[in-house]
Structure formats: structure tokens, C-alpha cells
Amino acid sequence: MLSVTDLQKTYPSGDEALKGVDLDVTGNETVAVIGPSGAGKSTFIRCINRLTEPTGGSVELDGLEITGLSGKELRNARRDMGMIFQEYNLIERLTVMENVLSGRLGYVSTWDAFRRKFSGEDIERAYEVLDRVGLEGHENNRADELSGGQRQRVGIARAILQRPKILLVDEPTSSLDPETSRAVMDLLTEIAAEDDIPVLINIHEVDLAEEYADRIVGLRDGEKVFEGTPADLDETARGQIYRGEEIPDDTAVKRPSDDDDPTESTTQEGAMRRG
């Protein structure tokens, strides 16, 4: 389970990108993080695996405190967190297979990593993963020969090959057409279900979040202002996330007027006191 507690990020300029965000992700659920530009979505994802250093709070993965690690311990912990990047983060001059196998670099020696030498088991599994993400037959293509959707699939395959405990996904559909975007989201949610690992996705497209996520988290100005199911993301919640509107206080007890049934009002007041 991923457990994020009071996560904060303040830049040297004094800008607060995250202001104490809490979140738990468990099982094989897909959790989507939405919000306007500048809300802190990418910072949140990158602080979890410390590609961006948080300035406060804690991140735990299966009980291991990530924020206190350094050196080899941090590198080992990152093997359990598969990262899928918005801009793919591929080495363009290398082949698809070489890019995918880079997901195993954390498991080989420095010398073998330099020579890009991997075990037969890793290579066999890489072929299986490429088939799984729809890239069978493309293993010898250079990354710069691929379409955007294919590049994103290479990034997903690389992350799968890590055998991670969680997938962290930063804007996977931002440069893709609608049809390809849905194909990528189909693939990510299938991985979550079949491999029994959670997926945490930062995404701009609210319709995709509603369609594919089990749970949605809304960030605004570095704060978590919404958490619920897609069904909970009504116009009031959208207004709070994207326009900063306050949620009306529906808990106030209505005072009975002459036209109200006093019995009904008393019953409602009593029920609210008990709740």
C-alpha cells in the first residue's frame, strides 16, 4: 500500500506547490489525480518517488519510509515504483527492446548496465511484455521511429518489466489523440487488474478520469480539495476543484416556518443531531 501523509513542497522562491496532501492507494485500484494547471499534480507524483524532493511529510510503500532513504536504499526503493512519463523519457537512438530492458537496470551490476547486458529471463519476459502492450514485432525499431502512442506503450512496457508494487503515471494521454488515449487507459487499467498493482495517474482529461478511475482526487493550489468516486464528481465538486468555489453548507438546520410541518422539522433536527 502507498501511504502519503502531509506531503509538502516549497520551492526556494517561496512558492508552495504542495501544502500537506494526504492519500492512501491500495489493492489494484486506479486513482486519478485531477485539477487545473499549476495545482501541483505532477509535483505530487514526482515527490512520491523523489524525482522532486519534498520539503515535508512522508511517503511509505508497504511500510517502507521512502522520504528518509538515500543512496542505494533509495535506488532499491525506486525499483518498486514504476514511473510512466508524459514525454515518454525514452532514449531515442536505442531500440524498443533496449528501452524496455532499461526497466531492469536497477537489478544488474553497473558494468552489466553499461554494456546493456541482461539475463535470458529478462529478455524473454521483455518479449512477452511487448506482446502484451501491442508492440510485437517492433523490438528492433528505434524509439524515434515510433508514433506517440507507440512510445507511450514502450514506457508502459519498461515500467511493467520492473515488476513494481505501484505504477506512477504522469499525464499519459496529454499528447495523444482521443482514440489512442483510451487505448492507453485501457492498457493501464488492465495492468492494474491483472497484475494486482495500484495505478496512480495524474491526468488533465476529466472524462477519462471519470471513465477509468476507481477513485478521483482533486488538487487545487497544492491542496487536496476533493476525494471520491467518479459518481461523486458532480458540478459542485468540479466548481471547487477548477474554480475554487466553496461547497455550500448543507448541514445547517432549517428553522421551521408557519407553513412547515413542525413534526417533520423536529424529526429532521433529531436525525441530524444523531448523525
Task: Give pLDDT tens digits for 194-214.
Answer: 999 999 999 999 999 999 999
Nearest to 65 by CA among 74, 55, 52, 54: 74
State mean pLDDT over 165-177: 92
Cell digits for 129? 511484455
Interatomic CA distance for residues 117 and 99, integer angstroms? 13
Is 199 within 8 Å of 16 (Cβ atoms)? no
**CATH, domain range 1-80+164-171+197-275:** 3.40.50.300
Q: In what order do the strands lie in the sheet with 56-61?
A: 16-25, 2-10, 56-61, 64-65
Residue bearing the bigger pLDDT, 61 or 255: 61
CB neighbours (10 Å) of residue 254? Answer: 10
Distance of CA 215 to the CA centre of its chain: 11
Nearest to 184 by CA among 199, 196, 195, 197: 199
For residue 272, what pLDDT band results from cuts at 50, 70 and 90? very low
Question: In this predicted model, what pLDDT tens digit does every residue of 213-252 receive, in sequence order?
Answer: 999 999 999 999 999 999 999 999 999 999 988 766 553 3
Q: Look at residue 246 in the predicted model and tell me its pLDDT.
A: 75
Is 197 within 8 Å of 167 (Cβ atoms)? yes
> 7 forms bridges with which residues in the sheet?
21
Q: Look at residue 105 in the predicted model and tell me its pLDDT.
A: 85
For residue 64, what pLDDT band results from cuts at 50, 70 and 90? very high
Q: Is the pLDDT of residue 118 over 60?
A: yes
Cell digits for 51? 524525482
State mean pLDDT over 133-162: 94
Q: Could you tell me the pTM of the whole model? A: 0.84
CB neighbours (10 Å) of residue 208? Answer: 20
State mean pLDDT over 132-151: 94
For residue 275, what pLDDT band results from cuts at 50, 70 and 90? very low
Mean pLDDT of the residues in the chain: 88
Q: In what order do the strands lie in the sheet with 199-202?
A: 81-84, 166-170, 199-202, 30-34, 215-220, 223-228
